[in-house]
Structures are given as structure tokens and as C-alpha cells.
Amino acid sequence: MEFKADWDEAKLRLAAWWRGEIIGRVALQVRAPRAQPLRPADPPPMPQDPVERWTSADYRIGLAEHRFAGRWYGGEAFPYFDTHLGPGSLALYLGSEPAFSEDTVWYQPSIEDPDCAPVIEPDPQNRWWLASKRLIEEGVRRGDGRYLTSLPDLIENLDTLASLRGTKALLMDLMDRPEWIHRAQREVQEAYFECFDALYAMASGRDGGSCFSAFDVWAPGRMAKLQCDLSAMISRRMFEEFVLPYLWEQCERLDCAVYHLDGPDAIQHLDALLSIPGLTALQWTPGAGQPGTGAEEWFGMYRRARRAGKSLLLMGVETKRVRRLVEELGPEGLLIGTRTESQEEGEALLEEAERWR
């Protein structure tokens, strides 16, 4: 690729990581300022309209290419055009209306009364669905041979229902309308795969691989990040009834699946998650005010995941903590993301990683 000369080698290491293996060294993604920018250019002017900032392919691709030119992608790091419309684009396709801010999107509830709500299904003429398709089409066309185009952050199950219904109302529904929750979950599941399959067909590379926005991960097939951030607010019993069966099925319909575990209150569900045979990897986000991803406080959890045969995706690790992680957990099944101050420092880190065991 134009912005990643050693991409073929990186793909082999990423594929090995999904299998819980290594090729030569631990899988390591290192980003740094490029020593010599490839094509110095000013970023495109930011549109005044916040909707246009999120939906204009020209603006978003221009901004992405400006960043690619100045960034070094070391090891298994790679450049990709991020096509998401906020964290949970599926809710937009299913009727939620967005509130755009500069760096995120909020979703307005669209289901006022579940007892008379229509079937949850995507509308092929939905404005936001068409916007997502345009972003992917342009990203694939303009990025061909130069960078990847990601799948958007769709999100699924109770988190999507929380966007459509509102979090407080949905928490009450779990107690008062369990049958509707299950019906809605099945509808969201089918809507998810209707959208996912269409977008994967557009964004997958010539080799059938796919990458996911936000978590900087590529896989040699149908891959998705799964989550249920609402799980921090519900009991283990509710998780096993209302979340686990749908995650289980979702994993069976994917080639590779990584679960985004978010915050200490979600750790109570770890054993249930590790019991899913089709779940390939775990990604941990400690949350605000908690020790970082590379902190020793989380090593016990990491070991539990590795004993269960799950690979680990650990992002935002301080460079000084990378070696300790590898030595404590072993390099197999470990994908670590870090940043260095310079390309030279990043190159030295990758060379040193060859000797870690």
C-alpha cells in the first residue's frame, strides 16, 4: 500500500494473532509521526455544517489522507479510512435520529411505546444508510491500493436497543417487557446481519479481509467488534438471558469476533463471555479514572482470557509497559497498540521486540 509498504507481512502476523499464534515476534502496532511526510499538504477546510462534516466523503477522505501522509504505521499498524457515523451506526439505519457534535454522535430514541412499535428493520432508503454506503464506496474507490476502508461501528443487541428506546426506559423494559426484549433482540440481530453483509461485500478487500474502525484491527474474513456496554448496569442473570444467546449466535455467523469489554462494572460477565466458543478475542477498555491497559491490575483478567483460548487486543499501552506485558503473558495471542514520539523510536521498539519471549 502507498502508506504501508510492508502490509503483506503485517497481514500474516495479524492472521496469526487471531489464531493465538505468533510469527517471529509479538504482534505490535506502533504509530508515530513519519520522519518524512509522504505528500505534504494542507488538510481540507472543515465544513460549517456538522452533518456535512460527518457525511461528506470528500472532506472525510481528504482529512484521512492528510493524516496518512504524516503518520508512520509500524509493525501491524495500518492506514484505514474510518467510515463510521458515530459509535452505533446501526441505530441510525433503524430509525434513530442523530445529534452530531465535532467528535461523536448521539442517538435520539425512536421507540416510544414498545407495545405498538413496528418491526425493527432497516429501510433501504434511510438517509444515514445511504450516507454510509457513499462513504464506503468512495473510500474503496479512492483508497484502492493505497489504504483500507473500514466497516463502520454498527453495534448490536441491547446497546442498539438502548439507542432506539432510551437507556432508562430499556432498563425498565428488562423487568416489565422481557418478551418484547427478546423479540426486539431477534429483529436487531437480523437487521445487523442484513446491514453487515451488504457493507462487508462493499468494503472487503480482494483477499476477502476486512478491518474495523476505532479498534485498528484487520482480519482475513468476516470480522466484527461486539459489545454490550449496558451490561455494566445489569446482573449476571440478565446478561445470560438477554445478551449471551445473541452474542453466541453472532459469533457463529462471523469468521473472527472481538468483544469490547468496557470498564470494571462489566468484568462480572467475563466468564460468560469466555464461554462463547466462537468469540476469538477480547479487547479491554479500563475506563476513566482507572489504571491504563498495560497496568498490572489487569494481568489476572488477561491470563483468564488466554487460558480460555482467547486472543487479547490491548490498545493505548504506554511504550514503557509493552515489554512487561509480553514477558508476563507470552507473545502468542497478544496484539498491543502503542505510540512513540518518533519513527526512529518505533523502529527500535520493533527491533527489540524480536528478542522478547
pLDDT digits (tens, 9 = 90+) for 42-67: 889 999 999 999 999 999 999 999 99
- Chain length of the chain: 357
**Cα angle 109, 114, 116; round to 5:** 115
The pLDDT value given to residue 102: 82
Least confident of 126-140, 156-170, 205-219, 269-283: 205-219
Strands (E), the chain: 27-33, 71-75, 80-81, 97-100, 105-108, 148-149, 210-212, 217-219, 223-227, 256-262, 281-285, 311-314, 334-339
pLDDT digits (tens, 9 = 90+) for 151-193: 999 999 999 999 999 999 999 999 999 999 999 999 999 999 9
**Cα angle 137, 258, 270; round to 5:** 150
Residue type, position 227, single letter: Q
- Across the chain, mean pLDDT equals 96
Q: What is the pTM of this model?
A: 0.96
- Going from the C-alpha of 229 to that of each of 87, 97, 109, 178, 267, the distances in angstroms are 11, 20, 17, 19, 11
| HEC assignment per residue over 44-103 | CCCCCCHHHHHHCHHHHHHHHHHHHHHEEEEECCCCEECCCCCCCHHHHHCCCEEEECCC
pLDDT higher than 90, residue 78? yes
- Residues facing 311 on adjacent strands: 281
pLDDT digits (tens, 9 = 90+) for 316-328: 999 999 999 999 9
Q: Which three cell numbers stand for residue 44?
A: 481540507
d(CA 312, CA 282) in angstroms, rounded, equals 5
> Domain boundaries in the chain?
7-353
Please, are residues 349 and 26 in contact by the beta-carbon 8 Å criterion? no
pLDDT digits (tens, 9 = 90+) for 121-144: 999 999 999 999 999 999 999 999
d(CA 114, CA 190) in angstroms, rounded, equals 18
pLDDT higher than 90, residue 40? no
Least confident of 95-109, 130-144, 190-204: 95-109
CA 46 to mean position of chain CA atoms: 25
d(CA 357, CA 325) in angstroms, rounded, equals 11
pLDDT digits (tens, 9 = 90+) for 293-322: 999 999 999 999 999 999 999 999 999 999
d(CA 162, CA 183) in angstroms, rounded, equals 15
The pLDDT value given to residue 207: 86
Fold of the domain spanning 7-353: TIM Barrel (3.20.20)
d(CA 265, CA 26) in angstroms, rounded, equals 30
Query: Grid coordinates 463510521 are at which residue?
Result: 84
Residue 242 is given by DSSP the state H
Residue type, position 88, single letter: G
